[in-house]
Amino acid sequence: MPKYRYYFAFKLPFKDKRIILDSTQSHHLARVVRARIGTVVTLFNGFGSEIICELSEITHQNAHLDFKEIKSIEPLPYSITLVQCIAKGKTMESLIHKATELGVKKIIPVYSENCDVSYNNVRQKNKIEKWETTTIEACKQSGNSYIPQISEIIHLNDFLNQDTHNGLCLIASLENNTVSLNTIITKFIAETNDKNQVEVKILIGPEGDFSPAEYNKINELGFIPINLGRNVLKVETATTVAIGLVANKFTEVFKA
């Protein structure tokens, strides 16, 4: 019997061990993927809880699910924060989707000197809401039980000045002083006392790269420059590769 996974917010009706999906999710479950009575459906709340249910009734507006059990999904043994210079249009949504698939915990969108976009307060609110929807859809697709937090959009200088920059701080760099990612992570793990609280920040620049002044300030704050290969990557590719390499290396380390 097929199993289906859908986003679930605990504010939805949940009485007498029955969960009623909203009209949009109900339509997708019943009409798009054509689930049938008795189908097992896995819901998740975005904070590590999965709810196993069974489809018991389909009405004109809603799908009714009978609660079976709740499962707690352990978080990853490392926490990745993506500090992403804003990309134009669909590119930002796409890289947020990929970052969510790869298990980032937090996304901080920032402006830098060479960013080619700007938002007023209303557009910023709308953009963040759209990006949050993207993370939910990415969790549905990938099976990630933790929806990443997306912070407000801030200027790069404000991020650099306000943040404490704990843990391992990396920057995908086009400069000549880059270091091997494998070497950096191996050394970091060896020198870290509490391996249950590993925090990693990955800073990704805009298509036009960081300015020399920005590079200087980032380097002064202890961000370690890493290269992602000999070719210059588009921002979406750079983001995906950087997160993937870091996640893969930490997965290897924690399995060892």
CATH at 144: 3.40.1280.10
CA angle (190 as vertex; 188, 196 as ends), nearest 5: 80
Amino acid at residue number 8:
F
Q: Which of 11-20, 46-55, 120-129 has the highest mean pLDDT?
A: 46-55
Other Cβ atoms less than 10 A from the Cβ of 81: the count is 21
Instruction: Check residue 88 and give its pLDDT.
Output: 84
21 and 110 belong to one structural domain:
no
Cβ pair 102, 221 in contact under 8 A: no
Instruction: Check residue 181 and give its pLDDT.
Output: 85
120 and 54 belong to one structural domain:
no
Domain count, the chain: 2
215 and 115 belong to one structural domain:
yes
- Which of 72, 105, 122 is at the close of a domain? 72
| Residue-number span of the structural domain to which 94 is assigned | 78-255
Instruction: Check residue 204 and give its pLDDT.
Output: 97
94 and 209 belong to one structural domain:
yes
Q: Are strands 168-172 and 149-150 parallel, antiparallel or unpaired?
A: unpaired
Instruction: Check residue 8 and give its pLDDT.
Output: 67
Residue with the larger pLDDT of the pair 68 and 197: 68
CA distance 40 to 56: 10
Give the torsion through C-alpha atoms of 123, 212, 204, 94, to 10 deg: 50
With 70 as the cut, is the pLDDT of residue 164 above it? yes
CATH code of the domain containing 20: 2.40.240.20
Tokens 């086009």 locate to 174
Cα of 148 vs its chain's centroid, Å: 5
28 and 138 belong to one structural domain:
no
46 and 116 belong to one structural domain:
no
CA distance 127 to 91: 13
Instruction: Check residue 61 and give its pLDDT.
Output: 86
Other Cβ atoms less than 10 A from the Cβ of 47: the count is 12
Banded model confidence at residue 1, pLDDT cuts 50, 70, 90: very low
48 and 89 belong to one structural domain:
no
With 70 as the cut, is the pLDDT of residue 112 above it? yes
Q: Which of 44, 45, 38 is nearest to 64 (CA)?
A: 38
CA distance 252 to 63: 41
103 and 222 belong to one structural domain:
yes
66 and 87 belong to one structural domain:
no
Amino acid at residue number 227:
N
Residue with the larger pLDDT of the pair 186 and 79: 79
Banded model confidence at residue 154, pLDDT cuts 50, 70, 90: very high
- Which of 43, 72, 101 is at the close of a domain? 72
Say what angle helices 235-255 and 90-101 make with each other, to 10 degrees.
10
Q: How many CA atoms lie less than 13 Å away from 35 in the CB half-sphere?
A: 28
24 and 96 belong to one structural domain:
no
Percent of residues, the chain, with pLDDT higher than 70: 91
- Which of 72, 98, 119 is at the close of a domain? 72
- State the chain's mean pLDDT as an integer: 88
